[in-house]
A = this chain, B = another copy of it.
Amino acid sequence: MSFTLGANQYGKAGIRLVSVERDGDRHFVTDFTVATALAGRLDDTHYTGDNSAVLATDTQKNTVYAFAREYGVGEPEAFGLRLARHFVKTQEPIYHARIRIEQHTWERLAPHGEPAPHSFVRSGGETRRAEVIVTEEHDVSVSSGLGDLTVLNTTNSEFHGFPRDKYTTLPETRERMLATSVEAWWDHSSEDVDWGKSYADARDALVTAFASTYSLSLQQTLFSMGSHVLRKCPSVDEIRLSLPNKHHNLVDLTPFGLDNPNQVYVAPTEPYGLIQGTVHRERELPSAGPQLW
């Protein structure tokens, strides 16, 4: 009885890279966690342990640090492109390289309102993400994304008109809190993008849409958020969003002789709704970028 190797890849994950650019007294910090993943003609290492095609994951890690010095770090999409191209170009057996980067943001400290030249505080909210794939045939796919962007509307959200079967107990509501922690990936149709500006535009579109959409369902909010990003970012073809519905339930205070006019809520960790969807331009293309579900 014999079996066959299917899809596979390997690389180094959790590569922590912090780079400091020094413009005289004024410093700039870039903080990445990088993961590499290579695929190619790798049957032999699986079948017999012959590693002649296996660029060591330790070497992949070394390359990340060396490139940070040789070429600088810059935007995660551009750094990922440089790395991915290097691996497919220099390693004959490798025909597919994927680089994933998570960026941790530091803000400049400003004691007494004066921006400090070399002191920073970690802004703990969302993390920026980028994924780049380069193939042997020079096909390139670039996606950008974010995670852990947690937002809340205290009003302007309703939920009603849903079907009622024998297991339905949820009352309809014309007034509820709506909170979610945004996770999203969006795919670019080109490499010719100002990555920093594009990310800022997408992030701004997401929160603007969330704040300005009068919501009858989290799905409606999701579609609005996706549409705003496509409208604001011309290079983006498609966006995938994963939105947990972080429930805030009004507490029943009547046992204590109290009313609760939309004031006191309990926010349980689980269970939670999970709304996931895709918004794309008219032309539909298969996405090579990261899938969220």
Contact = CB atoms under 8 A, between A and B. Distances in A.
A163 B52 contact: yes
Nearest to A238: B6
Taking chain A's interface residues, is the majority helix, strand, or loop, or is none over half, making it mixed? mixed
A107 B205 CA distance: 17
A119 to B, nearest CB: 4
Interface stretch (A136-144, A189-197, A220-228): A220-228
A238 B264 CA distance: 35
Interface in A4-51: 4-22, 27, 29, 31, 35, 37, 42, 45-51
Interface string A209-226: 011100111111011001
Interface string A160-190: 1111111111100000010001000000000
A13 B161 CA distance: 22
Contacts of A2: 282
A66 interface: yes
**How big is the A interface, by class?**
35 or more
Interface of A: 1-22, 27, 29, 31, 35, 37, 42, 45-59, 61-63, 65-66, 68-70, 90-91, 106, 109, 111-112, 116, 118-126, 148-156, 159-170, 177, 181, 204, 207-208, 210-212, 215-220, 222-223, 226-227, 230-231, 238, 240, 244-245, 248, 251, 253, 255-260, 262-282, 284, 291, 293
A4 B279 CA distance: 6
Contacts of A55: 162-163, 165, 168
Contact of A13 (B150, B181, B274): B274
